[in-house]
C-alpha cells in the first residue's frame, strides 16, 4: 500500500544515463532527498497516511494497481473483494481523489480480470463519476502489447475534462 510521489523540480528533467553508477548526493544507494535543477524528490508513505495536501495538484496522472488477491480466482484465494483488508489503500486513494482540489487529469488503473464486477470496482466507478471523470475499460493480455505474458489483465483509463 505504498504511494510513491515524484515531483519534478525542472521542466526538462533528465534521468541518469543507463549504466551510470553515479551516487552523488546519495547515502547507501538511497534515492535523492533534495531537489536540484535536474533531480526530483521521492516521498514514500503509506497511502492511508497521506493527506490531500500531499498530493493535491502534484501530478497530472495517477497510476494505480491495487492488490489483486481480493479479486483473484485462484484455488487458494478467498476472493473477499471489499471485505479484504488489502483494499484499504485503494479506498484511501478514492478518498484522496474526492478531497483534492486540483485533481489529476488522467488516471490509469490495472488489475486482474477478476476485478471486473467487483464491489471495489463499483465503488471506483462512483468515485470517478462523482469527481467528473469519463473512462474506458479494457481486458487485454500483455501479449497484445508485445509483452510476453498471457494473463489477461483489466485496464481502466479515466480522463477529467471540462468539455
Q: 34, 43, 37: which is closest to 9 by C-alpha?
A: 37
Q: What nine digits make up the cell of 134?
A: 469519463
Strand order in the sheet with 133-140: 61-64, 106-112, 153-160, 133-140
SS3 state at 107: strand
Q: Which of 68, 93, 107, 128 is catalytic?
A: 68
CA nearest to 68, candidates 47, 87, 83, 88: 87
Classify the C-alpha dihedral 7-156-154-52 as positive or negative: positive
127 classed as catalytic: no
Which amino acids are annotated catalytic?
A: 68
Amino acid at each position: 500500500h505504498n504511494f510513491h510521489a515524484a515531483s519534478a523540480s525542472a521542466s526538462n528533467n533528465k534521468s541518469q544515463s543507463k549504466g551510470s553508477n553515479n551516487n552523488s548526493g546519495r547515502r547507501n544507494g538511497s534515492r535523492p532527498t533534495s531537489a536540484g535543477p535536474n533531480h526530483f524528490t521521492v516521498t514514500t508513505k503509506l497511502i492511508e497516511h497521506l493527506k490531500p495536501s500531499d498530493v493535491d495538484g502534484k501530478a497530472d496522472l495517477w497510476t494505480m494497481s491495487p492488490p489483486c488477491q481480493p479479486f483473484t480466482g485462484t484455488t487458494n484465494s478467498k476472493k473477499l473483494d471489499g471485505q479484504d483488508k488489502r483494499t484499504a489503500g485503494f479506498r484511501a486513494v478514492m478518498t484522496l481523489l474526492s478531497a483534492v482540489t486540483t485533481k489529476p487529469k488522467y488516471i490509469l488503473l490495472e488489475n486482474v480480470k477478476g476485478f471486473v464486477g467487483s464491489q471495489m470496482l463499483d465503488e471506483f466507478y462512483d468515485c470517478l463519476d462523482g469527481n467528473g471523470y469519463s473512462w474506458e475499460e479494457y481486458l487485454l493480455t500483455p501479449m497484445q502489447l508485445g509483452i510476453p505474458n498471457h494473463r489477461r489483465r483489466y485496464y481502466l483509463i479515466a480522463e477529467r475534462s471540462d468539455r
